[in-house]
A and B are shown apart, each in its own frame.
Chain A
Amino acid sequence: MIEVESLTKDFGLRRAVDKLSFTVKPGEVLGFLGPNGAGKSTTMKMITGFLTPTSGTARINGHDIQTAPVAAKREFGYLPEGAPGYADMRVMDFLEFAADLRQLQGDYRQQRLQQVVADVHLEGVLGQKIDTLSKGFRRRVGLAQAILHDPKVLILDEPTDGLDPNQKHEVRRLINSMAEDKIIIISTHILEEVDAICSRAMIIAQGKLLADDTPANLAARAESGRLDDFFRDITAGGLS
């Protein structure tokens, strides 16, 4: 379970995330929606312990990210925004590096490496350096790294950004296949994606939580019954 408690982040005078609180239970796929600059990535960076919150905290399966960061970080896999990877490393070396830091050992390590390579279809590029990969492959390498240790919690910042339609479909299928017993948080601004994979959607704008419900219920709130109309209604211009 992820428990987020009044998470707040100030950058100078600007409040990027404003007292965000929510919990996510196993089996839920939570979609973070919001316009650019809404605070989605900042929130994820705080949950994963990369950014230190101005106030508030997050607990991942009971481990506080501030007071027990290493224990908390073992619980999740994280795909940062833009899927960064060490440019000078070959794909397989990079995955092995991640496997080592995740303390995977022996047969299980081999089995997991083979599994993720098959899951995200990296067979053809294992010997290539990461900086020679296309954007789509890079994102898949980042995804492979995130699911490598079969984590109970997956936090994915725009996992399908830059992928072609087929790749998007593949990644969504992968997320759906893992959704059953995991907690998955994804951020996106592609609304169709929310329909396709999320069991719950949170709409955030200017660091504040505006709506939190199933995608179907959110869509029903708009006159037209469409999620993108509802999204526009509550985020456009910040008028509502």
Chain B
Amino acid sequence: MNPINIIFRRELAAYFSTPLAVVFIVIYLMLTGVFTFYLGNFFERGQADLQSFFAFHPWLYLFLVPAIAMRIWAEERKSGTIELLLTLPITMGQAVIGKFLAAWAFVAIALAGTFPIWITVNVLGDPDNGIIIAAYLGSLLMAGAYLAVGVGVSAATKSQVIAFIISLLLCFIFTLAGFPLVLDAFSSWLPGGVVDALASMSFLTHFQSLQKGVIDLRDVIFFIAFIGAWLYACALIVDARKAD
């Protein structure tokens, strides 16, 4: 069996070995419901689609994904098991990818738990299910991007609280990177090229068309490249700080 697969299975099982997994999934599902029906005006809109459901995903992930990601490496370093893991015959890349995929699969399970809303909208009307499937895929991709940030930050500290707060901050910047709220904070002191690059990494912008069911290859490539870059950084951070 491939080491990535072995690590993936251990990590995923670890989520469900504590009440954390259930608590997280319940909170996630409750909040999606609240946002969709109260803030998104699901019924009042009178449209047979899930726009009001997907529109809030970036904001949910912003808080919930760093909470999943914070323990991934921080706990490993704090408890010393990192020394055990990294002296077993595996590569750093296998460890980083295995752990990331397990967390991503966990988010996917939580996301899959929202299926009743999909059934609801099909009962109430006649939505375009192709759009909904595309939006689900887009949402999962975006969750992966949030997760990749969180995993990288988790590797830099032993404290899960610090990991949570810093990844929350970074995720907030990436969520709104294309908007004045974030750009104004950087445009005065960073060179224009860097600000433009930051603006182009806005999750919200890249998710915009995906949630409407438009699978633009550029958005997909953006999220995949973003995940890859952060995982690479994560491997470097783990390597540099594992023994501190």
Q: How far is the CA of A71 from the CA of B88 in the complex (A)?
A: 10
B90 within 8 A of A: yes
Would A73 and B14 count as touching, CB distance under 8 A?
no
The distance from the CB of A79 to the nearest CB of chain B, in whole angstroms, is: 9
List the A side residues contacting B90 at CB < 8 Å: 70, 73, 101
List the B side residues contacting A81 at CB < 8 Å: 80, 83
Would A145 and B84 count as touching, CB distance under 8 A?
yes
List the B side residues contacting A71 at CB < 8 Å: 89
Interface pairs A-B: 4 shortest CB-CB: A84-B80, A73-B89, A80-B83, A74-B89
List the A side residues contacting B83 at CB < 8 Å: 45, 50, 80-81, 84
Would B1 and A100 count as touching, CB distance under 8 A?
yes
Would B243 and A50 count as touching, CB distance under 8 A?
yes
Would A101 and B84 count as touching, CB distance under 8 A?
no
Would A88 and B14 count as touching, CB distance under 8 A?
yes
Q: A50-B242, A51-B243, A101-B3 are in contact. Are A86 and B91 (CB under 8 A)?
A: no
Would B10 and A97 count as touching, CB distance under 8 A?
yes
Contact with A along B8-29 (1 / 0, CB 8 A): 0010011001100000000000
Q: How far is the CA of A82 from the CA of B81 in the complex (A)?
A: 10
Give the size of the chain A interface in residues (CB under 8 angstroms): 31
For residues 92 through 135 of chain B, which have their beta carbon under 8 Å from a beta carbon of chain A? none
B86 within 8 A of A: yes
Residues of A within 8 A of B (CB): 45, 48-52, 69-71, 73-74, 78, 80-82, 84-89, 93, 97-98, 100-103, 129, 142, 145
Would A50 and B87 count as touching, CB distance under 8 A?
yes
B6 within 8 A of A: yes
Would A89 and B6 count as touching, CB distance under 8 A?
no
A-B contact count (CB 8 A): 68
Q: A97-B6, A97-B10, A100-B6 are in contact. Are A80 and B88 (CB under 8 A)?
A: no
List the B side residues contacting A49 at CB < 8 Å: 86-87
Would B17 and A89 count as touching, CB distance under 8 A?
yes
Q: What are some 6 contacts across the A-B interface (CB < 8 A)?
A: A84-B81, A86-B10, A86-B14, A89-B10, A100-B6, A129-B17
The distance from the CB of A27 to the nearest CB of chain B, in whole angstroms, is: 24
Would A98 and B80 count as touching, CB distance under 8 A?
no
Would A80 and B84 count as touching, CB distance under 8 A?
yes
List the A side residues contacting B6 at CB < 8 Å: 97, 100-101
Q: How far is the CA of A78 from the CA of B81 in the complex (A)?
A: 12
Closest to B17 in A: A88
List the B side residues contacting A86 at CB < 8 Å: 10, 14, 79, 81
Would A84 and B87 count as touching, CB distance under 8 A?
no
Would B14 and A89 count as touching, CB distance under 8 A?
yes
List the A side residues contacting B87 at CB < 8 Å: 48-50, 73, 78, 80
Name the residue among A85, A86, A93, A102 with the largest chain B CB count within 10 angstroms: A86
Would B18 and A85 count as touching, CB distance under 8 A?
no
List the B side residues contacting A70 at CB < 8 Å: 89-91
List the B side residues contacting A52 at CB < 8 Å: 239
The distance from the CB of B24 to the nearest CB of chain A, in whole angstroms, is: 15
